[in-house]
């Protein structure tokens, strides 16, 4: 064989070997970013409007979302650079007010919170676009803007009035969380004593009116009986805008399997949250134990608040608070997929609404890290796109279609 022929054979052999070796696969992080660049996250719950009210008295001259200081970002978990880094495409901005407020004050403050969201959108038109339907949200995302929707957190915000409910919808509220931490005159909360075994007769009227208006029913915060009553009544898909799976972390704010099993028929979605006590079983148990210690200390040190405080502090020093983790959030997603299916999962971080977040999910820039973890667990690109925004958009379209009927 001549030298040239040997070279030809060698080159041909190398070419065959190269063809047989697959190109290096994308990393989970690269896959997550690829998916989110095409289908950015629609998050179900962010409390930054509440933080703006609390920290700055709703005065936009006192801060700039284009870059918050580290101490303020530690409370909002949200500013424009972190939103962009996190591939956020749509946000339901929560308009939350204290559930213990008198009815008239709750209504007034809710309207003020809606105004905060409107001011924010108007102040940063290059970033935010007001959206009130699935179509307007999709149009905003196609332009590279963050579709900004309004979610009303708590049925106390309507003052037990269908007329006020209708006016809140007219002002832009596109979901209402049926209760917050306290039971209302017409619906039982997950974290308060029940009064109605779910919904009262007026509560059923509220659900029917929300269906007629095209307002999403949010079942985060409500009791299990309320969840079932709503699913029995509603003609539209529901959302849990910031809840996890109760079978993974036994917190009353989380969704039990009895409800997860009904979601395929309803079409609803659980938007998995990052709240540590809802995420980590160990953290939940620690919180329960701390409450028991605090209760005992209150009795043992009656009239001695310093002694009561010292007793609780001593217990905490001996029992360090467990941290929730990104992997535990993914565990909840795994469970919901197992029980309800991939079409019933979304994301509702609750950024701005908690003092602490899971390790790896410290602010809104970290969505890609969670999606990379799902890639490592075998979720496909189609699965990721559904979780990021597809399932939420389907619920929005379903609610709009029910209203049209």
Predicted confidence at residue 103, as pLDDT, reads 95
Examine the domain organization and report whether 341 and 308 are in the same domain.
Answer: no
| Cα separation, 254 vs 239, whole angstroms | 13
Of 50, 77, 156, 221, the active-site residue reads 221
| Cα separation, 138 vs 149, whole angstroms | 12
**153 has catalytic annotation:** yes
| Rg from Cα positions in the chain | 24
**180 has catalytic annotation:** yes
**209 has catalytic annotation:** no
Please report which helix (H) or strand (E) contains residue 120, including its range: helix 103-123
In a domain, 9, yes or no: no
Examine the domain organization and report whether 69 and 210 are in the same domain.
Answer: yes
Examine the domain organization and report whether 70 and 194 are in the same domain.
Answer: yes
pLDDT tens per residue across span 284-332: 999 999 999 999 999 999 999 999 999 999 999 999 999 999 999 999 9
**45 has catalytic annotation:** yes
Examine the domain organization and report whether 293 and 220 are in the same domain.
Answer: no
Report the chain's mean pLDDT, rounded to a whole number: 94
**156 has catalytic annotation:** no
pLDDT tens per residue across span 44-99: 999 999 999 999 999 999 999 999 999 999 999 999 999 999 999 999 999 999 99
**At 33, which CATH number?**
3.20.20.140
Of 156, 228, 242, 335, the active-site residue reads 242
Task: Print the domain residue range for 290.
Answer: 281-322
In a domain, 15, yes or no: no
Examine the domain organization and report whether 169 and 289 are in the same domain.
Answer: no
**229 has catalytic annotation:** no
Contact 270, 247 (CB under 8 A): no
- Residue 6: pLDDT above 80? no
Examine the domain organization and report whether 316 and 338 are in the same domain.
Answer: no
Examine the domain organization and report whether 200 and 312 are in the same domain.
Answer: no
DSSP state of 131: -
| Cα separation, 277 vs 354, whole angstroms | 10
Examine the domain organization and report whether 160 and 230 are in the same domain.
Answer: yes
In a domain, 3, yes or no: no
| Cα separation, 388 vs 88, whole angstroms | 9
- Residue 8: pLDDT above 80? no
Predicted confidence at residue 23, as pLDDT, reads 52
Cα angle vertex 385, ends 380, 387, to 5°? 95
φ, ψ at 117 (rounded to 5°):
-65, -45
Residue in the block written with tokens 């017409």: 186
What's the rounded mean pLDDT across residues 181-199? Answer: 98
Of 43, 45, 251, 383, the active-site residue reads 45
Examine the domain organization and report whether 164 and 263 are in the same domain.
Answer: yes
In a domain, 383, yes or no: yes
Examine the domain organization and report whether 151 and 296 are in the same domain.
Answer: no
DSSP state of 86: T
| Cα separation, 54 vs 48, whole angstroms | 10
**221 has catalytic annotation:** yes
Examine the domain organization and report whether 204 and 236 are in the same domain.
Answer: yes
Of 43, 229, 308, 350, the active-site residue reads 350
In a domain, 241, yes or no: yes
| Cα separation, 298 vs 315, whole angstroms | 14
3-state DSSP call for residue 227? Answer: helix
| Domain count across the chain | 2
In a domain, 153, yes or no: yes
pLDDT tens per residue across span 128-151: 999 999 999 999 999 999 999 999
In a domain, 177, yes or no: yes
Of 156, 169, 180, 344, the active-site residue reads 180
Give the helix ranges, DSSP H, for 214-354.
224-233, 257-260, 263-266, 276-279, 281-300, 305-318, 326-339
Of 43, 79, 138, 153, the active-site residue reads 153
- Residue 13: pLDDT above 60? no
Q: Which of 262, 292, 322 is the last residue of a domain?
A: 322
pLDDT tens per residue across span 207-252: 999 999 999 999 999 999 999 999 999 999 999 999 999 999 999 9
Examine the domain organization and report whether 293 and 364 are in the same domain.
Answer: no
In a domain, 4, yes or no: no
């Amino acid at each position: 064989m001549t030298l040239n022929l040997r070279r030809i054979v060698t080159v041909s052999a190398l070419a065959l070997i190269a063809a047989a070796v697959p190109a290096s696969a994308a990393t989970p992080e690269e896959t997550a970013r690829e998916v989110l660049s095409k289908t950015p996250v629609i998050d179900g719950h962010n409390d930054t409007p509440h933080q703006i009210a609390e920290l700055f008295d709703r005065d936009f001259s006192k801060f700039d979302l284009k870059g918050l200081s580290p101490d303020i970002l530690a409370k909002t978990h949200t500013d424009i650079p972190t939103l962009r880094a996190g591939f956020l495409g749509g946000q339901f901005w929560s308009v939350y007010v204290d559930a213990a407020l008198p009815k008239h004050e709750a209504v007034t403050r809710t309207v003020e919170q809606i105004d905060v969201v409107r001011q924010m959108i108007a102040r940063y038109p290059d970033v935010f676009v007001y959206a009130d339907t699935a179509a307007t949200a999709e149009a905003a995302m196609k332009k590279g803007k963050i579709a900004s929707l309004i979610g009303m957190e708590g049925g106390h915000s309507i003052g037990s009035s269908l007329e006020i409910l209708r006016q809140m919808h007219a002002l832009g509220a596109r979901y209402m969380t049926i209760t917050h931490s306290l039971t209302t005159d017409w619906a039982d909360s997950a974290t308060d004593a029940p009064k109605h075994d779910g919904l009262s007769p007026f509560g059923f009227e509220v659900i029917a009116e929300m269906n007629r208006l095209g307002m999403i029913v949010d079942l985060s915060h409500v009791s299990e009986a309320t969840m079932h009553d709503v699913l029995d009544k509603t003609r539209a898909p529901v959302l849990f805008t910031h809840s996890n799976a109760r079978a993974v972390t036994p917190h009353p704010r989380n969704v039990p399997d009895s409800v997860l099993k009904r979601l395929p028929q309803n079409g609803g979605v659980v938007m998995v949250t990052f709240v540590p006590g809802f995420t980590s079983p160990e953290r939940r148990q620690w919180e329960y134990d701390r409450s028991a210690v605090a209760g005992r200390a209150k009795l043992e040190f009656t009239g001695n608040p310093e002694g009561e405080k010292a007793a609780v502090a001593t217990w905490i020093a001996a029992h360090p608070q467990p941290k929730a983790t990104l992997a535990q959030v993914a565990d909840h997603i795994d469970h919901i997929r197992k029980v309800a299916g991939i079409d019933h999962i979304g994301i509702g971080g609750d950024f701005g609404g908690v003092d602490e977040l899971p390790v790896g999910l410290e602010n809104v820039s970290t969505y890609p890290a969670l999606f990379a973890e799902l890639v490592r667990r075998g979720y496909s690109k189609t699965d990721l796109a559904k979780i990021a925004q597809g399932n939420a958009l389907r619920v929005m379209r379903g609610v709009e279609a029910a209203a049209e009927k």
